[in-house]
Amino acid sequence: MTPATPPGTSTVKKAVIPAAGLGTRFLPATKAQPKEMLPIIDRPAIQYVVEEAVRAGIDDILIITGRGKRSLEDHFDRNFELEYFLAQKGKDDDLTEIRDLAEMADIHYVRQGEPLGLGHAVGVARKHVGDNPFVVMLGDDIMDEQSTVLDGMIGVYEQRGRSSVALKEFPIEEISSYGCARPEPVDDDDGLVRILDLVEKPRPEVAPSNLAVMGRYVFTPAIFDCLDRVAPGVGGEIQLTDAIALLLAEEDVYGYVFDEGRYDIGQKLDYLRATVELAVDRDDLGAEFRAFLAEFVQRRGIG
């Protein structure tokens, strides 16, 4: 496994978080609020993503937003009225938490205009990112706090100066929901593969492997020229997978294989898993919640 770069020493300082999608799989909850603001316990999903970036040493975050996404900006902004109220009531812990939230990182926003696909959303970040390596983290994909995937991927960039995508094994019958990689082993690193090809949502019979692309990427700025060359696919969307397929024809692109602790909160079942698994691990709630789950499972005769 590639060693992670110690926090603060990496040259990868920027993250782009696309959060401009319509979230149709979670309607009606996402009719009037962004999917990225759905709460997992007591924090909106995107806060977990921002905290993960900060833990990995990122200090400049660009969130790609769209129509109806104002609450995202408000969430990471100061709220003087609320702070005043909490101070008056002596709720110091809440006050500190609310203030810290606004000071976690340098957060910028740019609007996508029209949700023309994930690739298009990443392309919108070009001016902000400039000629730097950067991370892309999907705003609806969250990792548990112990995850070292992002640190590991940044480590790959530091060692090899190349892009990488996070990959996870799935049962082959589920692979048609994902981008799928054709991998080649990398001699001196067992958690890393070189990607030879990427196919978006293949049928299981023609899938090149059971490794699916997950929502974490580290890119060299060369990805932007590739995005410019991608033709719109199904529904007029510019696919990020297609741009990565062009990139790997020009320079090595690696796959960072991991297995645990990732949730796509845009899917209802994963949303529920995230809520339960993260709650079980919480210092303030875990013990009581575990007791409830044990009693619930027994009462309902589950398992």
Residues found near ligand UTP in the complex (CB under 6 A): 18-25, 35-36, 64, 112, 115-118, 120-121, 138-140, 266
CB of 218 to ligand UTP, least distance (A): 17
Which residue's beta carbon is nearest to the bound ligand UTP?
21
CA dist 211 and 229 (Å) reads 26
Report how far Cα 120 is from the mean position of its chain's Cα atoms.
16
Nearest CB to ligand UTP, comparing residues 118 and 248? 118
Burial bucket for residue 13 (CB in 10 Å: 0-12, 13-18, 19+): middle
Tokens (6 digits) for 247? 């990139």
CB of 266 to ligand UTP, least distance (A): 5
CB of 22 to ligand UTP, least distance (A): 5
Q: What angle do CA 59, 6, 36 make, to 5 degrees?
A: 40
Backbone angles phi, psi at 61, to 5 degrees: -120, 130
Nearest CB to ligand UTP, comparing residues 16 and 153? 16
Rg (CA), the chain: 20
CB of 88 to ligand UTP, least distance (A): 37
CB of 18 to ligand UTP, least distance (A): 3
- Cβ(242)–Cβ(230) under 8 Å? yes
CB of 65 to ligand UTP, least distance (A): 8
Nearest Cα neighbor of 256 from 166, 134, 150 is 166
CA dist 168 and 176 (Å) reads 14
Nearest CB to ligand UTP, comparing residues 4 and 19? 19
Beta-bridge partners for 263: 142
CA dist 230 and 274 (Å) reads 34
Largest Cα–Cα separation, the chain: 64
Nearest CB to ligand UTP, comparing residues 238 and 279? 238
Nearest CB to ligand UTP, comparing residues 45 and 56? 45
CA dist 141 and 248 (Å) reads 24
Q: What angle do CA 143, 9, 50 make, to 5 degrees?
A: 30
Nearest CB to ligand UTP, comparing residues 155 and 266? 266
Nearest CB to ligand UTP, comparing residues 71 and 159? 71
CB of 185 to ligand UTP, least distance (A): 29
Nearest CB to ligand UTP, comparing residues 19 and 86? 19
CB of 230 to ligand UTP, least distance (A): 13
Backbone angles phi, psi at 261, to 5 degrees: 75, 35
